[in-house]
Amino acid sequence: MPTIIDSYVRQHNELTIFLDTNKEISLKSDADRGFTKVLILACASYFEDRIIQIISEYSSVITNSNKLILSFIKNKGLERQYHTLFDWKENNANKFFSYFGDELKSKHKVDLKSSNDLMCYEQDFMFLGRVRNILVHSNFASAAVEETHEEIYEKFKNAIKFIEYIESIFTIEL
């Protein structure tokens, strides 16, 4: 199912085709460079929204929509806390899974050992979160990103499979 990120990339591609057609090579280069950074922010923001939604929906079902517990989870556990759920300096999401107990952390490690693809998806997810932090907490305008927007989009398409994996874990647990 297409995401808002897919639509965003499609719009950028249409712009670059227009710029190419009109021989605006300099503008195309500037547009690509700027888009790469913004795409990273958009991807990371999309993932944040999805993971918070997954946890919120799971919590609602498990607590039978208990307003007190859901309010606590939202206000203390999730609101402005997403980026503390991961150790962005690492290339794995072990910290995230450990918050849900040793059993889930162990299950994730077993799943990783049985799937090289899952490990790649996780690494791409962590890469996008890490680079997002670098961009946001440094001088965004002068920060350099070595990857092209096409490479970032490929990482997004991999990382979304990691989000689907997380979603499947919380769905199975229901």
Q: What is the pLDDT of residues 30-87, one digit of tens each?
A: 999 999 999 999 999 999 999 999 999 999 999 999 999 999 999 988 888 999 999 9
How many angstroms separate the CA atoms of 63 and 173, rounded? Answer: 13
Look at residue 89 and tell me whether its pLDDT is greater than 60.
Answer: yes
- Do 82 and 52 meet the contact criterion of CB atoms below 8 Å apart? yes
pLDDT for the residue 1: 80
Q: What percent of the chain has pLDDT over 70?
A: 98
Expressed in percent and rounded to 5, the helix, strand and coil fractions of the chain are: 75, 0, 25
- Please state, rounded to an integer, the average pLDDT across all residues of the chain: 93
Cα 101 from Cα 16, distance rounded (Å): 47
Mean pLDDT for 138-158 is 94
**Length in residues, the chain:** 174
Q: pLDDT tens digits for 111-123?
A: 999 998 999 999 9
Res 77: pLDDT: 85
Contact 82, 51 (CB under 8 A): yes
Q: What is the CA radius of gyration of the chain?
A: 18
Asked if 119 and 147 touch (Cβ cutoff 8 Å), the reply is: no
Give pLDDT, residue 79: 87
Cα 17 to chain center, whole Å? 27
In this prediction, residues 99-103 reach a mean pLDDT of: 93
Please give the pLDDT value at position 173: 57
Percent of the chain with pLDDT strictly greater than 90: 87
